[in-house]
């Protein structure tokens, strides 16, 4: 059967786009897990929109551009902030239960936002509430959903998408699915790193698939590290929402010193990249593997009502954050780069679209403003719906204003001393060599090992081997882009080039040779 839309992924980007697309044709969602497995469920911070009395799209635009450190696509940001209120209305109409106060949607403030504009659902359970609402709508619709199926190849003929090949992870069989439009909504690549707030499914699948198909990939060097992930022995990193600091929590090192005023005028509410690096410096200075968030001075009702997930998770692990400091350290969180799209979600391949974290629309630039990611997913999901509804075959034009440098991955010598490839070895390598602080020597070592692994990996046959193949490919894209950008900007910091330069106010586009 040929579908009008094939959507790969089942986070908010994929589900929202699918619910729109069903009004224009047949829809197939393919997801390697269930439609309940995604990064969206972990999005605690909320969703940003200029709906407050003291706010405006212009203010939202200004804050987004400031965080993006000179690399935002202004047109894309203007679209994001101006269409935000309408998309919030759509989510309300779909049944998302945003928190209210005095009969109106309640708004909070997060780092680098100049006003209160963050909407929440269930306090710090925003992503979970949106995901559940949309997945219930999908399950009750006529949308076909294939779970436990991993797309292994995008089929491109005569420069246009024709369909996909997908592995049934339960039976091992591979099946071809044809479609007019293919939408990548596969999420991020946090599993590249040893410490990450992302779930196991975030393995860079969409970026690797698109690159192998010949699509342009951009801004991969910009990987945002969330500064505050729970650091407890034997406990996987758990995101401590920025709202904790937005409500007045402060960072202290292991000696009790409140250190953020030493690094930034905004102190604890500085942009994420600044806070993450500051924490790293404090950990190095004190010889510790963590710092702390102090929220003990906040009223108990603030802690239990504004971030109930954080409160309950910590309590379940023996930590009452009303009375005790929260041990934290940075962890990989969100990749600003991805499959290059224009303002309609189109990629450089006809019929191929991308939305959500796997896409690079240009709205985040070098550093994502908190709570703009869920918003981006719905704004550009809507625009894909509008674009595909206007033309039988949308023209392919993924160009965006701004300077660019186009590079192909260099051929690297196969190393005889590279460690054997494995998920843990990859995560350790990327964390140590391509992490918060980078330099030429570390990046070159990582690039050599990744190229060696890429050349020697056996043909993948099951989900774990496909995911490892995709992670190695995505890791190379991140590493090679970081080598090309010889400056520090936004989330990309190189100790051998610690300053930004005007000539690097351009994008690194990776293309298949």
Are 155 and 302 within one domain? no
Dihedral angle sign, alpha carbons of residues 291, 293, 297, 303: negative
d(CA 258, CA 292): 9
Are 215 and 135 within one domain? yes
Is residue 78 annotated as part of the catalytic site, yes or no? no
Are 2 and 137 within one domain? yes
Are 201 and 244 within one domain? no
Among 279, 310, 330, the domain-final residue is 330
Are 4 and 121 within one domain? yes
pLDDT of residue 87: 97
d(CA 107, CA 66): 21
Among 371, 400, 429, the domain-final residue is 400
Radius of gyration in angstroms for the set of CA atoms belonging to the chain, rounded to a whole number: 22
**For 332-357, b where at least 16 C-beta lie within 10 A, e where not — what string?**
bbbbbbbbbbbbbbbbbbbbbbbbbb
Are 56 and 190 within one domain? yes
Averages of pLDDT over runs of 10 residues in the chain (513 residues) are 95 96 97 73 75 96 95 97 98 95 89 90 84 93 96 97 98 97 97 94 97 98 95 91 90 98 93 90 96 97 90 95 97 97 97 98 94 96 95 55 86 93 98 97 98 96 98 98 97 97 96 92
Are 215 and 134 within one domain? yes
Are 200 and 252 within one domain? no
Q: Phi and psi at residue 47, in whole multiples of 5°? A: -135, 130
Whether residue 155 contacts residue 163, with contact meaning beta carbons closer than 8 Å, is answered with yes
Reported in sequence order, the residue ranges of 36-139 that DSSP labels E, i.e. its strands, are 47-48, 100-101, 104-105, 107-108, 118-119
Token digits for 175?
A: 């099946």
Among 380, 400, 420, the domain-final residue is 400
- How many Å separate Cα 32 from the centre of its chain? 18
The CATH number of the domain holding residue 94 is 3.50.50.60
Full DSSP string of 375-421: HHHHHHHHHHHHHHHH-SS-------SSEEEEEEPPP-PPPSSPPPP
The CATH number of the domain holding residue 299 is 3.90.700.10
Whether residue 431 contacts residue 470, with contact meaning beta carbons closer than 8 Å, is answered with no
Q: Is 463 helix (H, G, I), strand (E, B) or coil?
A: helix
* Other Cβ atoms closer than 10 A to 289: 11
d(CA 159, CA 114): 44
Domain count, the chain: 3
* Other Cβ atoms closer than 10 A to 461: 12
The CATH number of the domain holding residue 490 is 1.20.58.100
Are 272 and 186 within one domain? no
Q: Which of 505, 307, 492 is nearest to 401 (CA)?
A: 505
Pairing of strands 160-168, 174-184: antiparallel
What is the dihedral angle through the alpha carbons of 380, 383, 389, 395, rounded to the nearest 10 degrees? -90
d(CA 345, CA 339): 10
Are 311 and 354 within one domain? no
Q: Which of 272, 306, 368, 387 is catalytic?
A: 272
- How many Å separate Cα 197 from the centre of its chain? 10
| Digit-coded pLDDT (tens) for 75-129 | 999 999 999 999 999 999 999 999 999 899 999 888 789 999 999 998 777 888 8
Are 27 and 128 within one domain? yes
Residue range(s) defining the domain that contains residue 488? 407-511
pLDDT of residue 243: 83
Are 322 and 343 within one domain? no
């Amino acid at each position: 059967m040929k579908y009008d839309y094939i959507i790969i992924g089942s986070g908010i980007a994929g589900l929202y786009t699918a619910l729109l697309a069903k009004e224009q044709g047949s829809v197939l969602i393919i997801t390697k897990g269930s439609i309940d497995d995604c990064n969206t469920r972990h999005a605690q911070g909320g969703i940003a929109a200029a709906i407050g009395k003291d706010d405006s799209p212009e203010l939202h635009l200004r804050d987004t551009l400031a965080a993006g450190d000179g690399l935002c696509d202004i047109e894309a940001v203007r679209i994001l902030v101006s269409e935000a209120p309408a998309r919030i209305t759509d989510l309300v109409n779909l049944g998302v239960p945003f928190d209210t106060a005095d009969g109106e949607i309640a708004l909070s403030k997060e780092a680098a936002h100049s006003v209160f504009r963050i909407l929440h659902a269930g306090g710090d359970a925003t992503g979970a509430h949106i995901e559940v609402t949309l997945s219930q709508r999908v399950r009750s619709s006529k949308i076909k959903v294939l779970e436990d199926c991993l797309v292994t190849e995008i089929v491109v003929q005569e420069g246009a998408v024709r369909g996909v090949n997908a592995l049934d992870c339960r039976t091992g069989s591979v099946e071809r699915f044809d479609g007019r439009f293919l939408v990548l909504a596969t999420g991020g690549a946090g599993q590249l790193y040893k410490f990450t707030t992302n779930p196991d499914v975030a393995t860079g699948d969409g970026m690797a698939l698109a690159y192998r198909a010949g699509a342009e990939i951009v801004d991969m060097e910009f990987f945002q590290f969330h500064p505050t992930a729970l650091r407890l022995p034997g406990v996987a990193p758990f995101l401590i929402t920025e709202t904790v600091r937005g409500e007045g929590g402060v960072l202290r090192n292991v000696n009790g010193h409140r250190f953020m005023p030493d690094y930034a005028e905004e102190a604890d509410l500085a942009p994420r990249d600044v806070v993450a690096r500051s924490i790293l410096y404090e950990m190095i200075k004190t010889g510790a593997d963590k710092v702390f968030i102090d929220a003990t001075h906040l009223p108990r009702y603030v802690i239990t009502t504004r971030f109930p997930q954080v409160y309950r998770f910590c309590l379940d692990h023996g930590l009452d954050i009303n009375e005790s400091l929260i041990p934290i350290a940075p962890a990989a969180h969100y990749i600003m780069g991805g499959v290059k799209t224009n303002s309609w979600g189109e990629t450089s391949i006809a019929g191929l679209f991308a939305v959500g974290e796997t896409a690079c629309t240009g709205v985040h630039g070098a550093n994502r403003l908190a709570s703009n990611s869920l918003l981006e997913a719905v704004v550009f999901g809507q625009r894909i719906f509008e674009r595909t509804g206007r033309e039988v075959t949308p023209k392919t034009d993924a160009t965006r204003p701004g300077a660019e440098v186009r590079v192909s991955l260099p051929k690297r010598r196969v190393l005889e001393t590279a460690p054997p490839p494995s998920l843990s070895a990859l995560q350790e390598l990327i964390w140590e060599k391509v992490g918060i602080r980078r330099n030429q020597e570390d990046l070159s070592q990582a690039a050599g090992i990744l190229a060696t692994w890429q050349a020697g990996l056996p043909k993948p046959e099951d989900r774990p081997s496909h995911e490892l193949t995709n992670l190695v490919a995505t890791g190379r894209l991140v590493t090679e882009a970081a080598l090309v950008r010889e400056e520090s900007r936004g989330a990309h910091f190189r100790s051998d080039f610690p300053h930004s330069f005007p000539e690097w106010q351009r994008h690194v586009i990776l293309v298949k040779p």
